[in-house]
A and B are shown apart, each in its own frame.
Chain A
Amino acid sequence: MAGIFVFSEDGALAKQLLTPALELKQQLSQPVTAVTSSEADAKELAAFGADKVLVLQAASGWTEGLSEAIYGLVSGGGASIFLVGGTLRGKHVAAYLAAKLNVGMSTDAKSVKIEGGKLLSTRLLYAGLALCDEELALPAVVTMPPRTFLPPSPAAKAGTVETVKAESDGRIAISDVTAHGGTGVDIAGVTKLVAVGRGFRKQEDLKLAEDLAGALQAEIACSRPVAEDEHWLPIERYVGISGHIVKPELYLAVGISGQVQHMVGARESKVIVAVNNDEHAPIFEGADYGIVGDLYEVLPLLTAAVGKNGGR
């Protein structure tokens, strides 16, 4: 089966991937085929630009277990580009496909285009220290993180939907699927964040940040140690290279030193503000505005000042 393929188990992400897929379609003059295991997603994908949607019908809903079945759809050759949603499940499927096809794969690409008959992607190296242009001969596999693109506009003409039977990997049994408690807030989708770090001496003190967040109508986020070492906040609120990449209008970092692993997650924000008692903390290099001072003194003042004007 020839052409550009799109896959994500996350329906919203699959739809976002149609945007780069349709650009590649222009460049390569090849059809876009979306692969999904959800009938509901299939309708959406067909309506938003996929020329064809293949719905995998499998006994098990475990995404990674469908890797071989997805490979089976294209093993005959002809597939030029596989765009896979860059969730952890997606990256597993993508790497499996790349190995079976014996092709290159670009992980967490920020952009893709065709140049000289090859795929050119941009991605990060060294935990965000550097940006790299990666060139892949076709066929190639690319994963792209959630929210890299907005979904395209609805297509003039809906694509076709076809159901195919799929075998899932019976060697692995999945049980005890447990959602990460938390509040279900998706910090990657909000417009203002107050992010807390190790500068807070104890968990109760986060109240100061919550008050500020309340006044700003912001959500609370945090650095890795606050979630993974101290367990003060759920990991769904952690910003960084292996946590969330966020792009709010305002990112206000309090008591965060600003190591590159953290800043990678925050540096796409529109305005970055830092409050830190260490004038030499790297966070100030990555911030638009900063206050050098004791957060225990600064935050109540800031909350009062913002509150007076009612936030926005």
Chain B
Amino acid sequence: MPKCLVCYKWTLDEKDIKIKPGDLSLDTSRAKGKISDFDRNAIEEATLIQEQHGGAVHALTYGTSAVKQSLKDVLSRGPETVYWIVDNSAETADACVTANVLAAAIRKLGPYDLIICGEGSSDLFNQQTAARLGALLGLPCVTYVEKLSVDGDTVKATRKLADCTEVATVKGPVVVSVLGTINKPRIPSLKQVLGAAKKPNKEIKIADLGLNAEALQSKAVHKSVKGFVAKRKNIVYKEPNAAANVGKLTSSLAAEGVR
């Protein structure tokens, strides 16, 4: 029976982020938190495996104090325990720091048969965590998985790449990153939401992970972040007469030399 760990990130919901017209900085004041999109697929996949094969699902997150808002949410989606690490370093952590922290926590909590991450986070989308964890933990890693099955200690993962799919077969323990197409995350029922309050959440102090200051120092630093504003002509033909609109558009396309 597999023991699974899901790593997830609590991110801002990008739908609520506005671009300030003047300096193009990002206004996140109205942005709510969410479990990063593909991490929800990771949680769902671990939970499906547990429902089919038994075993256990734990969740692990590293973030600022905002991650406390995620605990009931993640527990309502299936995991029986969530471990959380809060540290200010998470405010600016790059994938290097995140992987250092998660790997140290996994060494402490593990071993796990299966460690599942989302393909990339909704905010930074670095797509690095799974491969970095594999490297740091000395475990095989299968990325970009759209189908996962477990048979004893053997994991079969179908990867979807740009031009092909392929099946990776590996004996656990293994690190896997999943795509958004692997499943449809459940919407927790009222019972699951209420049940989540009774499940344990356990804090791990970053000081107990034996990481030095260098390991918590981001190597990739955001010097400037600016909203992307499309510079387009925005000429819209909207007369009731469709033929007239089409006539104007074809003239415009001819003028642009793209007809």
A108, A176, A297, A311: the one within 8 Å of B166 (CB): A176
B124, B132, B181, B245: the one within 8 Å of A291 (CB): B245
Q: How near does chain A come to B111, taking the closest CB pair, in angstroms?
A: 16
B169 at interface (Cβ–Cβ under 8 A)? Answer: yes
**Does A301 lie within 8 Å of B232, measured CB to CB?**
no
List chain B residues, Cβ under 8 A from A267: 228, 230
**Does A126 lie within 8 Å of B123, measured CB to CB?**
yes
**Does B170 lie within 8 Å of A173, measured CB to CB?**
yes
**Does B230 lie within 8 Å of A135, measured CB to CB?**
no
Select the stretch in A31-39, A41-49, A90-98 that faces chain B.
A90-98
List chain B residues, Cβ under 8 A from A305: 246-247, 250
- Which B residues between 151 and 202 are near A, CB-CB below 8 angstroms? 158, 161-171, 180-181
What range describes how many residues of B lie at the interface?
35 or more
B236 at interface (Cβ–Cβ under 8 A)? Answer: yes
Select the stretch in B61-69, B73-81, B83-91, B217-225 that faces chain A.
B217-225
- Which B residues between 230 and 254 are near A, CB-CB below 8 angstroms? 230, 232-238, 242-243, 245-247, 249-250, 252-254
**Does B242 lie within 8 Å of A133, measured CB to CB?**
no
A286 at interface (Cβ–Cβ under 8 A)? Answer: yes
List chain A residues, Cβ under 8 A from B224: 132-133
A232 at interface (Cβ–Cβ under 8 A)? Answer: no
**Does B237 lie within 8 Å of A99, measured CB to CB?**
no
**Does B243 lie within 8 Å of A125, measured CB to CB?**
no
**Does B232 lie within 8 Å of A174, measured CB to CB?**
no
Q: With A127-B122, A172-B142, A311-B259 known to touch, is A95 a contact of B249 (CB < 8 Å)?
A: no
**Does B167 lie within 8 Å of A104, measured CB to CB?**
no
A173, A270, A279: the one within 8 Å of B238 (CB): A279
A180 at interface (Cβ–Cβ under 8 A)? Answer: yes
What range describes how many residues of A lie at the interface?
35 or more
B149 at interface (Cβ–Cβ under 8 A)? Answer: no
List chain A residues, Cβ under 8 A from B109: none
B42 at interface (Cβ–Cβ under 8 A)? Answer: no
Shortest Cβ distance from B243 into A: residue: A301
Q: With A130-B227, A302-B249, A306-B259 known to touch, is A180 a contact of B131 (CB < 8 Å)?
A: no
- Which B residues between 128 and 144 are near A, CB-CB below 8 angstroms? 128-136, 140-144
Complex Cα spacing A104 to B132, Å: 11
List chain A residues, Cβ under 8 A from B259: 216, 306, 309, 311-312
A175 at interface (Cβ–Cβ under 8 A)? Answer: yes
A144 at interface (Cβ–Cβ under 8 A)? Answer: no
**Does B164 lie within 8 Å of A177, measured CB to CB?**
yes
A106 at interface (Cβ–Cβ under 8 A)? Answer: yes
Q: How near does chain A come to B177, taking the closest CB pair, in angstroms?
A: 9
**Does A104 lie within 8 Å of B219, measured CB to CB?**
yes
**Does B258 lie within 8 Å of A270, measured CB to CB?**
yes
Q: With A100-B135, A175-B167, A306-B259 known to touch, is A105 a contact of B220 (CB < 8 Å)?
A: yes
List chain A residues, Cβ under 8 A from B140: 169, 171-172
A160 at interface (Cβ–Cβ under 8 A)? Answer: no
- Which A residues between 163 and 186 are near B, CB-CB below 8 angstroms? 169, 171-180
Q: With A285-B234, A305-B246 known to touch, is A173 a contact of B220 (CB < 8 Å)?
A: no
A125, A171, A174, A175: the one within 8 Å of B123 (CB): A125
- Which A residues between 123 and 161 are near B, CB-CB below 8 angstroms? 124-137, 140
Q: How near does chain A come to B134, taking the closest CB pair, in angstroms?
A: 7
B209 at interface (Cβ–Cβ under 8 A)? Answer: no
Complex Cα spacing A302 to B248, Å: 10
List chain B residues, Cβ under 8 A from A284: 234, 236
**Does A128 lie within 8 Å of B228, measured CB to CB?**
yes
Complex Cα spacing A228 to B141, Å: 25
**Does A127 lie within 8 Å of B222, measured CB to CB?**
no
Interface centre among A131, A133, A288 (most CB of B within 10 A): A288
Complex Cα spacing A45 to B166, Å: 28
**Does B258 lie within 8 Å of A271, measured CB to CB?**
yes
A175, A176, A249, A298: the one within 8 Å of B258 (CB): A249
Complex Cα spacing A2 to B164, Å: 35
List chain B residues, Cβ under 8 A from A106: 220
B48 at interface (Cβ–Cβ under 8 A)? Answer: no
- Chain B 103-127 per-residue mask, 1 if CB under 8 angstroms from chain A, else 0: 0000000000000000010111111
In the complex, besides A95-B128, A312-B259, 18 extra interface pairs with C-beta distance below 8 angstroms are A64-B141, A99-B99, A99-B132, A105-B96, A105-B219, A124-B125, A125-B123, A126-B26, A128-B228, A132-B225, A134-B222, A172-B142, A177-B166, A178-B164, A216-B259, A291-B249, A302-B250, A306-B253
Using a CB–CB distance below 8 Å, which chain A residues touch chain B? 64, 67, 87-89, 91-96, 98-100, 102-108, 120, 124-137, 140, 169, 171-180, 192, 216, 228, 236, 241-242, 249-250, 260, 263, 267, 270-273, 279, 284-294, 297-298, 301-302, 305-306, 309, 311-312
